[in-house]
Amino acid sequence: MPADFNGTWNLVRSENFEGYMLALGIDFATRMIAKMLKPQKVVKQEGDSFTISTTSTFRNYFVQFTIGEEFEEDNKGLDNRKCKSVVTWDNDKLVCVQTGEKKNRGWTHWIEGDELYLELRCEGEVSTQVFKRA
């Protein structure tokens, strides 16, 4: 039985989000706003089917996937680049590989204690976001 990510999660801290946004080519003004945000994630997990909605006062992002099934991701409202994404289990970690123009792009989710972690990767940059249950 894999990890259970279901729930509503609020960002409590993050590391190197600026580096990750720079790697994605996000402009200065957008980065200044984005780094102040405290997004909320709502994860719905039913077996291997997931929806993850990330909302904030500035932009929202929604993704839906099934483990092991490649899907087209548009990254709308983020960097707006399209990529082909696939999410798999690595033990209790949820690992997404986002294949497209940017090298080494993807993310990993895991739970540690009562915290939800999200590692965001692009090119050589790694950002970590930490969430707690709402």
Binding site for ligand ECB (CB under 6 A): 21, 24, 26, 30, 34, 37, 39, 41, 52, 54, 56, 58-61, 63, 78-79, 107, 118
The smaller minimum CB distance to ligand ECB, of residues 21 and 86, is found at: 21
Q: Give long-range contacts, CB 8 A cutoff, 24+ apart: 12-18.
A: 12/115, 12/130, 12/131, 12/132, 13/129, 13/130, 14/127, 14/128, 14/129, 14/130, 15/127, 15/128, 16/125, 16/126, 16/127, 16/128, 17/120, 17/127, 17/129
Residue 10 near residue 38, CB atoms below 8 Å: yes
The smaller minimum CB distance to ligand ECB, of residues 91 and 98, is found at: 98
C-beta of 52: minimal distance to ligand ECB in Å?
4
C-beta of 18: minimal distance to ligand ECB in Å?
10
C-beta of 113: minimal distance to ligand ECB in Å?
18
C-beta of 108: minimal distance to ligand ECB in Å?
9
